[in-house]
Copies of this chain bind each other. A is one copy, B any other.
């Protein structure tokens, strides 16, 4: 493909709004252009590499017997109301009225549409299990679109859905999909982990996220330094392993703590460590108010709080509600003497504490020598805190470390949530009506592209791995004005194409420095340069990643390229 005929604009400067490498490089190397916040066009080379990722995904989906289909982006609100998501999805769901004022959602996912189709068409257990997928643009009106393709508002997604006649059968569909995802990200050469994730409010059971390890990832993964255990930090349970000090409980007393605003301030002022104080935070859990109490050095995990109450929405209580209920602001909250309107729950770690300090529910005052169980009684102790590095791994093997990850895939046992809401039933082999059991499986295809670049770049540009590059060879003619260079390059281009090798041919009348810089930026694994020694039939072959280069005879190019790609 001739570069001179291609819309492949490169930039020397890093775009001001691009904070991370994949965003910077995909824009600079001419793969994408922003059209609006979180909305991108894929220029020809970007579309090309995107299709290659798509092809890997499609192949692995087909291997496990999933069939491709295509559902519309415009989805009638009636379907979303049936599933209840019209109200629960919130403002990320884009909504549009047609000319007759009928409401539609712009597809964020397609559970509702596929469930409505399967409900209408599948009546018998004989037609189950069923596995379908599609690869298509999705729409989510993110509050803060950022990081280029990592968090966009219109993005390419592979979504798949399974329908089974039992939970046991769902387990099999899920395992197949899990394996396919493992194959996909392995084939793409990504360094990733499948981590246990939050199944959220949708009544689902197992769920895993596929995380590409990367500094710029928005999620934190807790993993064992010894075993395969890995979980989203929100999901990792903390093993209940706290020992009491054995000290005698002392008498609680109130002390003035003027101007001490943070936990750290108070601990320093009172002369103890952070972990010798209690942290109390007021939440609104659906309609009730809950004070969550942890050790001063621990952090409340609101997902655990949500799961504890099987709640729909957990949010921080407002300062106004807090003042009304507790008579004080956020800075002096504590679990002692709390009104019945507020439920106090405490983390397991709190149960082991004695003679600690906490807010006195009075501005500028704290309590000392507070002992849980004596000075206050929580409604229950539970696993409420985030796991931390150094904690024992929940599977009992090794200790926990943290890494950051980019979520590129998600497999989810939905169970009967949608099927029940939307009445998707089938007749079993006894002729009895049963509810279908579903799974939902997503891959962020455009996000995966960004993750690939995060893991494959250097100072000069992108470094595509051999198995997933937009082209296999970048052919450069150094000085196309010289006939012998132009002729040899033209000939090599034709030969490479003839041999079925994907070649990008830089035939532009540009300076050598520009061509080399652009080539490094674009990142094709092998570069062949036709330069001064063209007259002798000698060209240069260079590896993008290692930088190794050698002069070879032009007649050897095809063979060398093929050999290189076989390794």
Within 8 A of B (CB), among A94-127: 94-96, 98-99, 102, 104, 106, 113, 116-118, 120-122, 126-127
**How far is it, in angstroms, between the C-alpha of A272 and the C-alpha of B104 when the chains are bound?**
57
A7-B74 contact, Cβ under 8 Å, with A44-B69, A47-B69: no
A74-B153 contact, Cβ under 8 Å, with A69-B42, A94-B96, A96-B94: yes
Cβ of A214 under 8 Å from chain B: no
The contact string, 1 if C-beta is below 8 Å from chain B, for chain A 62-82, is 000101111111111000000
Within 8 A of B (CB), among A38-52: 39-44, 46-48, 50-51
Question: Does A74 lie within 8 Å of B36, measured CB to CB?
Answer: yes
Question: Does A154 lie within 8 Å of B73, measured CB to CB?
Answer: yes
A41-B130 contact, Cβ under 8 Å, with A99-B143, A113-B35: no
Cβ of A386 under 8 Å from chain B: no
The contact string, 1 if C-beta is below 8 Å from chain B, for chain A 19-48, is 000000000000001011001111110111
Question: Does B68 lie within 8 Å of A48, measured CB to CB?
Answer: yes
**How far is it, in angstroms, between the C-alpha of A411 and the C-alpha of B339 when the chains are bound?**
75
Query: Looking at chain A's contact residues, is the secondary structure mostly helix, strand, loop, or mixed?
Result: mixed
Question: Does A35 lie within 8 Å of B118, measured CB to CB?
Answer: no
Give chain B nearest CB distance to A113 CB in angstroms: 6
Could you say how many copies of this chain the assembly holds?
2
Cβ of A5 under 8 Å from chain B: yes
Question: Does A126 lie within 8 Å of B509, measured CB to CB?
Answer: yes
The contact string, 1 if C-beta is below 8 Å from chain B, for chain A 285-303, is 0000000000000000000
Q: Which residue of B lies closest to A129 (CB)?
A: B5
Cβ of A141 under 8 Å from chain B: yes
Which of A43, A65, A70 gathers the greatest number of chain B CB atoms within 10 Å?
A70
Which of the residues B41, B70, B71 comes within 8 Å of A69, measured between beta carbons? B41
Cβ of A307 under 8 Å from chain B: no
A117-B41 contact, Cβ under 8 Å, with A5-B65, A96-B106, A141-B99: yes
Cβ of A316 under 8 Å from chain B: no
Question: Does A7 lie within 8 Å of B70, measured CB to CB?
Answer: no
Cβ of A6 under 8 Å from chain B: yes
Within 8 A of B (CB), among A121-180: 121-122, 126-127, 130-132, 134, 136-137, 139, 141, 143, 153-154, 156
Cβ of A91 under 8 Å from chain B: yes
**How far is it, in angstroms, between the C-alpha of A134 and the C-alpha of B122 when the chains are bound?**
35
**How far is it, in angstroms, between the C-alpha of A155 and the C-alpha of B94 when the chains are bound?**
19
Give chain B nearest CB distance to A428 CB in angstroms: 16
Within 8 A of B (CB), among A460-510: 508-509
**How far is it, in angstroms, between the C-alpha of A344 and the C-alpha of B28 when the chains are bound?**
60
**How far is it, in angstroms, between the C-alpha of A130 and the C-alpha of B102 when the chains are bound?**
40
Count residues of A near B (Cβ-Cβ below 8 Å). Answer: 63
Question: Does A68 lie within 8 Å of B41, measured CB to CB?
Answer: no
Contacts of A75 in B (CB 8 A): 35-36
Cβ of A253 under 8 Å from chain B: no
Which of the residues B40, B72, B143 comes within 8 Å of A72, measured between beta carbons? B40
Question: Does B42 lie within 8 Å of A70, measured CB to CB?
Answer: yes
Contacts of A14 in B (CB 8 A): none
Question: Does A7 lie within 8 Å of B121, measured CB to CB?
Answer: yes
**How far is it, in angstroms, between the C-alpha of A215 and the C-alpha of B46 when the chains are bound?**
42
Cβ of A258 under 8 Å from chain B: no
Cβ of A191 under 8 Å from chain B: no
**How far is it, in angstroms, between the C-alpha of A126 and the C-alpha of B6 when the chains are bound?**
11
Question: Does B104 lie within 8 Å of A36, measured CB to CB?
Answer: yes
Cβ of A380 under 8 Å from chain B: no
**How far is it, in angstroms, between the C-alpha of A113 and the C-alpha of B48 when the chains are bound?**
19
Give chain B nearest CB distance to A68 CB in angstroms: 5
Cβ of A560 under 8 Å from chain B: no
A44-B73 contact, Cβ under 8 Å, with A98-B141, A117-B33, A121-B9: no
Cβ of A4 under 8 Å from chain B: yes
Question: Does A154 lie within 8 Å of B98, measured CB to CB?
Answer: no
Question: Does B7 lie within 8 Å of A72, measured CB to CB?
Answer: no
**How far is it, in angstroms, between the C-alpha of A143 and the C-alpha of B32 when the chains are bound?**
35
Q: Kindly list 10 other residue pairs between chains A and B, CB separation below 8 angstroms, not including A33-B121, A35-B74, A44-B67.
A: A7-B118, A7-B122, A35-B113, A41-B72, A42-B70, A46-B69, A47-B70, A50-B70, A51-B68, A73-B139
A–B pairs, 24, beta carbons within 8 Å: A7-B117, A7-B121, A35-B74, A35-B75, A35-B76, A35-B113, A36-B76, A36-B104, A39-B72, A39-B74, A41-B69, A41-B71, A41-B117, A46-B69, A47-B69, A70-B156, A72-B154, A73-B137, A73-B139, A74-B139, A91-B99, A94-B98, A95-B96, A99-B141
